[in-house]
Structure 1
Amino acid sequence: MAVPQLYYFTIRGWGEYIRLLLTDNKVQFEDIRYVYGGKEWEEVKRTMILGQLPCLKIDGKELVQTGTIMRHLGRKHNLNGSSEEEATFLDMIFEGVRDVRMKYVRFIYFDEGTREEIVNKTLPECLEKLEKLFQTHSGDFIIGNKISYADYALFEELDVYYHLDAHILDKFPGLKGLWERMWERPNLKAYLEKRKADGVWISAVEKGMK
């Protein structure tokens, strides 16, 4: 079986969920990154089944759409809960996390609102809801003490918002605890520290970052 190939941009973006999951679970993969808006990507784009990234290519077959890829990896690597009820809960969390990210995206790319509004109102209101959902199950992760595909997405979002404001997680102990634990996971720590040292951009535009 060929090594999977992950195609995304040189930023973190949606592709980072997938990178974190694969890295933490010691899944070897080829991390192929294109400059956002670059000529090389414009040429490759024409060959992609939906003309978009991220794309995970496994044995020559393309998987696109972030949620599709993450759920596939969740099922494949036993990261999708142990029951239909847990799988559905993870699905709900994942979609909720993506909805919050879109509020961030509208601020970054479309100048919707101010930094003060998103840091002091928009994101905290969303994080409060996610905190309540996170507290539904006891344990270190979303559905207890076993990590899931949705934990990687939630962690990445929390880390993004921490870059906007280093105190934004202080009122949400459950979420902050998850964020701290993920940073200390043995298979992620070196990757996260290198990512930080390299200054990998979160989005194609850095706006309001501390």
Structure 2
Amino acid sequence: MTVPKLYYFSIRGYGEYIRLLLIDNGIKFEDIRFPWQSNEWAELKKTMKFGQVPCYKVDGQEIVQAGAIMRHLGRVHKLNGSNEQEATFLDMLFDAIRDVRLKYIRYVYFDEGSREDMVNKTLPESLERLECQFEIHPGDFIIGNKLSYTDYILFEELDIYHVLDGKILDKFPALKAFWERMWQRPNLKPYLEKRTKDNVWISAVEKGMN
């Protein structure tokens, strides 16, 4: 098996879920990053089947769409639950979390709503629902004590919202405890600390950063 290549911009964005999964599970990969709207991206885009990123290339296969890449990695690396019921639950929660991210994206990129609405209403309403779903399977992760590919999107989204407001997780103890545990994972912690130190942008615009 060749070393996989992950192509994405030099921000966190949708590529970060994939990076976190690969790093945490000790999967070697080339983390190919390039500036937003750069000439490098303009040229690279011409060579790709769908002209979009994140793009994950492995063994001659080119996979795009963050969800497709994450589900592929979940199947290949046994991070997709232990049965069909768990796999379906993970798929459902993954898409639900992506829906919350779209609300954040509309705020960041399109000035939809205010920061106050996002922090005090929009995100808390969504986090309350996610808290209820997280508690269905008691344990450290979404499906109990078995790590899954969906844990990485949940962690990254919680971390983003914590950057937006440092107290936003306080009313959701299960999610906050999960976020804190993920931060301490030995493969993730050095990467996360460096990411914070380097002030890697969450999005292509600085809005929403500390």
TM-score bracket, shorter-length normalisation: over 0.9
Identity over aligned pairs, percent: 69
Q: Distance in 2 between matches of 1:85 and 1:208?
A: 36
- Structure 2: runs of 5+ lacking an equivalent: none
In the TM superposition, residue 146 of structure 1 has moved relative to its aligned partner by 1.1
* Mapping of residues 1-210 of structure 1, within 5 Å: 1-210=1-210
Q: CA RMSD of the aligned region, Å?
A: 0.7
Q: CA deviation at 1:163?
A: 0.4
Give, in whole Å, the separation in 1 of the partners of 2:74 and 2:31: 19
Q: 1:165 touches 1:209 (CA, 8 Å); kept in 2?
A: no
8 Å Cα contact 1:90/1:150 also seen in 2 = yes
Spell out, residue by residue over 1:26-53, the C-alpha distance to the aligned partner (whole angstroms, 9 max, x if none).
Answer: 0000000010111110111111111100
CA shift at 1:209, angstroms?
2.8
TM (norm. structure 2) is: 0.99
1:186 is paired with a residue whose SS is coil
In the alignment, the residues of structure 2 paired with residue 51 and residue 121 of structure 1 have an alpha-carbon distance, to the nearest angstrom, of 36
User: Any runs of at least 4 consecutive aligned residues in structure 1 with deviations exceeding 6 A, and if so which?
Assistant: none
- How many residues matched? 210
Q: What letter corresponds to residue 170 of structure 1 in structure 2?
A: D
Secondary structure of the structure 2 residue equivalent to 1:32:
strand
SS at match of 1:46: helix
Q: Tell me which amino acid in the other structure corresponds to 1:80.
A: N
Say which SS state the counterpart of residue 50 (structure 1) adopts.
Answer: coil
TM value normalised by structure 1:
0.99
Amino acid corresponding to residue 116 of structure 2 in structure 1: E
